[in-house]
Amino acid sequence: MRILITSGGTREFIDPVRFITNASSGKMGLALTRAALKAGHKVTLITTLTDSRLKTQDPRLIAEKVDSADEMFKAVKRHFKQCDCLIMAAAVADYTPARPSKTKIKRANESLTLKLKPTNDILKWADKHKKKNKIIVGFALEDKKVRANAERKLKEKNLDMIIANTPAAIGSDRISVHIKTPQKQWLKLHKTTKTIIAKRIISMIGIKYKYGRP
């Protein structure tokens, strides 16, 4: 398979030197990339991290560096048609500054109001352009009603798989995740390394691609 993976947290620039971001480490996306390569798949990685974090020269890997949600959206659109599976592991910002300043904003003694606008919904776009047999996998980070909110996202985005976790997973090496595919029960992996979780996810995707399940 050719698997398209996104990784890391996006940067939404307020001005040339300041930006809004999140606490995503990008470790899950990198673990998925390594697991996919180890399983024999080809990988296109769209990431906000530097290529050196991967520490591999595997010729089956194409890595593309992006910063913002818009750049990630454009990169996904470029590579989506050629992939068999999209795994959206990146923490893409939901909002971005409506009018970023072209010059550095100077300090002042009055309050500063920052107007934000929604970013493009990459998973929603992918669902609209999905062809037969293409697999789309999403992640859901929830601080309450983890399974209920994640399952709603699974249905609304028409995903083939959702992986849900909590803020405790950010930056951690051992985490608990909940995995759901349509018409199947939830699978929980408790306090497991991201390497093992990634291997399990890639294995499930491989089975679905080959046999049309789980």
- Is 22 one of the catalytic residues? yes
Contact between residue 203 and residue 39 where contact means Cβ atoms under 8 Å apart: yes
**Rounded distance, CA 147 to CA 207, Å?**
23
Compute the distance between CA of residue 115 and CA of residue 47 in angstroms, rounded to an integer. Answer: 26
Which residue among 22, 120, 149, 158 is the active-site one? 22
**Residue 94, token pair as written in the block:** 């939901």
What is the CB neighbour count within 10 angstroms for residue 50? Answer: 11
Bond preceding residue 97 cis, omega within 30 of 0: no
| Residue in this structure with the two tokens 């929604």, named with its chain if needed | 118
Residues 6+ positions from 43 with CB-CB distance below 8 Å? 2, 3, 4, 5, 33, 36, 37, 60, 61, 62
Residues labelled catalytic: 22
